[in-house]
Structures are given as C-alpha cells and as structure tokens.
Amino acid sequence: MENTIRGYKAFNANLTNRYGASFKEGGKYSVSGDAVFGNHGNGFHFCERLEDTLRYFDAMDGKVAICEVIGSGDIVEYSDEYYGYYDMFAATELEVLKALTREEIINMYLSVPSHRMVRFVQGFRLEPLEKELMRCCYADDIDVLNAISYYQDGDIDVYSRERARIYKKEIVDKN
C-alpha cells in the first residue's frame, strides 16, 4: 500500500513555488530518488495544517495561493523542534487537488482551536470584515483577540496591556 498524506501547500499567486517551478490544479508531479527535506532536498514540501504553510510562505501581503494537496510515494516528515508544532513533509509525488478560495480558507478558521487560530493570524492578512468575523467567533478567547490586535492591526501594546490587566486582577484577588 502506498503512503499518502493529505495536506496543504502554499504557492505564489500564479501557482509557482519559491524556486519558479509551475504547478496547476489537478496536476500530478514526481521526482526520482528518495525524499529529503530542506532547501537543497528532494521532493515536494507541504504541511498537514494550512497555518503551518504560512511559516514557510508569507501571506501577510495576500499574494499567495494555498492548495489542497496529496503527497505520496516516499515521504519524510520534518518537525520543527525549536517551535515544537510546525510539521512539514517532503514527498516524491504530489497531486495538487485544488486552489482554495479566500472564503474557503476563512471558513476553515471559524472554529479551529485557539492555538491554531493564533498561528493563522500571525501569517495571513485578514480583510477588515474578516477580522470582525473572527473577533465575533472568538469573542471569549483573549489569546485570539490579542493576536488579531497585534498581528493584524499592529497594536504593539496589546500584550503589555494584557499583562497589566492580569497583574491588577491578581492584586484584587489577593485582597
């Protein structure tokens, strides 16, 4: 049985990768040899979680395409031990299923766990109405709300204010 993993791959808006290779929806691609992770590796890189692709491909300017893909053949996994939660794969075969629309991407993130949403807003530029939608969906989650303020709105003092609020609450709770 062949090894397969379903995931996501980020591209430039014209479906080229960082190295200028062109891809298209429905396309199947392969390389010979063993899969090796890295800039000078062998194979096609992709992630199981969409937000992990944003660590490797900047989407803050909005000029990216994110595709659903299936990696197969020889597959190696790379787990970033420094950050602890970014996982990436290199596969000798890649099928590009479809490019996701912006609406599909936003809808995916309306109900993910907060740690995933925080990573998403760190790397994907939201439009004003999308920010408000996310704020409504995560209204009770201070981590997500702070991440939106910091990464999307550029509010560099949001975490200082949050620390001050927590400190004040601790003092009140002690008395």
Output the average pLDDT for the chain.
88
User: pTM for this one?
Assistant: 0.85
Structural domains of the chain in order of their starting residue, each with its CATH number: 4-100 (3.20.170), 103-174 (no CATH)
Longest distance between any two alpha carbons in the chain, whole Å: 68
Q: What pLDDT digit, counting tens, does each position of 26-83 carry? A: 999 999 999 988 878 899 999 999 999 988 888 887 689 999 999 999 999 887 665 5
Average pLDDT of span 117-137: 96
Q: 17-30 pLDDT, tens per residue?
A: 988 999 999 999 99
